[in-house]
Amino acid sequence: MRHFVDNSKSQDAADGFVAKSDEGDGVNFVRRIIRKTRKRLTDSRGTVLLLAYFVMVVVSIFSLALFSRSQIFLRSSEHTQNRIVAFNMAEAGFATALQALETNIAYAGTGEFTSLATPSVQGGFEVEVQAVGDSGNVRFIRATGYSPSNDPGTRAAERRAVHGYVQVQSPGLFNAAVFADNAIAMSGSVQVDSYDSRVGVYSASNQGSDGDLMTNSTDPSAISIAGTSQVQGNVTVGPTSVTDLTQVVSMGANADVSGTVASLSTAIETPVETTNVISSGAMDLTGDQIQSLSSGTYHFSSLTVSENSKLFIPEGQVVKIYVSGSVNISGGGILNEAALPQNLVIYATKAQDVRITGDTPFYGG
């Protein structure tokens, strides 16, 4: 018996098997492609995120650097401005000390911070004044300026100092060119005025109106200004309730007072004796005598300069003369070579006459 096999069916089965096998491989391949694509996409997103973070960090660093730079410039400009203001404040403090010393030789400084703050400028100063040496009239001034304040913890705080030495003149015993406890009489062509020695010597262009006359008296004609005498200043008499002072101040027809005529609110206290220097007796110069005095304090029982004689005060010398008797100066008079009134002061300590006549200028007080 013969067996016949249908080869076509077997071939078909084989072909079906192969086709099925090829279909599975294709699916796997596609899956692999999808997985790789997903992985690549995932890797790309991570890279983009890292790149974004990097850019943000770089921008932040540059922003911080720019902000820090702007802050540095801002602080620098604030310090520069405050340094200038502090220096100006120190100069203002120094000027304040100079002005105070003109009227108060004992001025010792502000003692504390003095604010000069305004809505546009913040600052102030401190001033310290110290006496130097034994001369009594030399001062060391240290003025310290601050901005915006004297608190070192203040933002952009600055401090600058100005210091220097100054020589001050002690104020006179009386605040007038001529003072008398009793009476003052002027006649002829006497002129009393003032000048600023800092500007230069006395001249027509350097004349002031501080040549004041002052007395404690309210007696009739306590101050008499006759002839063509000129007073470039104020005339002040003793305390009185009388408003019409024409009886106390006698004025000639051709005499003139440039300032006011008034009365004191309180009498000026005059010491009986103002020096303990022993009297050298009478100073009596006549004929052509010339007597020179060096710096110092002198006490005479009387002082007379007449005819062509002269009492000479050399330049650079400062002389105080106390006279317990009469004073009569005429002829050559007193020659103050420096022409500085503060270099010669005459104090008449007793109730005696003081007469100054002649044409020689008198620079003194």
- Whole-number percent of the chain with pLDDT over 70: 82
Q: For position 221, what pLDDT does the model report?
A: 92
Q: Average pLDDT, stretch 116-126?
A: 92
Looking at per-residue pLDDT, the higher value among 54 and 167 belongs to 167
Question: Tell me, what's the pLDDT at 135?
Answer: 62
Q: Tell me whether residue 207 is exposed, middle or buried, using C-beta atoms within 10 angstroms of its C-beta: 0 to 12, 13 to 18, 19 or more.
A: middle
Is 0.85 surpassed by the pTM of this model? no
Position 339 scores a pLDDT of 81
Angstrom distance (rounded) from CA 131 to CA 137:
7
| SS3 call for 46 | helix
d(CA 230, CA 186) in angstroms, rounded, equals 9
d(CA 88, CA 146): 9
pLDDT at 144 over 50: yes
**The token pair that represents 129 in the structure block:** 């004044």
User: Averaged over 236-244, what is the pLDDT?
Assistant: 90
Quickly state the pLDDT bin for 25 (edges 50, 70, 90). low
What digits encode the pLDDT tens for the residues 183-219?
898 888 888 998 887 788 888 888 889 889 999 999 9
Q: What is the pLDDT of residues 157-192, one digit of tens each?
A: 999 999 999 987 665 556 788 888 888 988 888 889
| pLDDT averaged over every residue in the chain | 82
Q: What is the model's pLDDT at position 336? A: 85
State both tokens at 127.
Answer: 């001033």
Q: What mean pLDDT is predicted for residues 94-106? A: 85
**Nearest to residue 297, comparing CAs of 278, 310, 314, 324?**
278
Contacts (Cβ under 8 Å, ≥6 apart) of 341: 197, 363, 364, 365
In this structure, are residues 307 and 329 in contact, taking their beta carbons and an 8 Å threshold? no
Are 183 and 225 in contact by the 8 Å Cβ rule? The answer is: no
Q: Which residue in 315, 313, 316 sits closest to 345, CA to CA?
A: 313
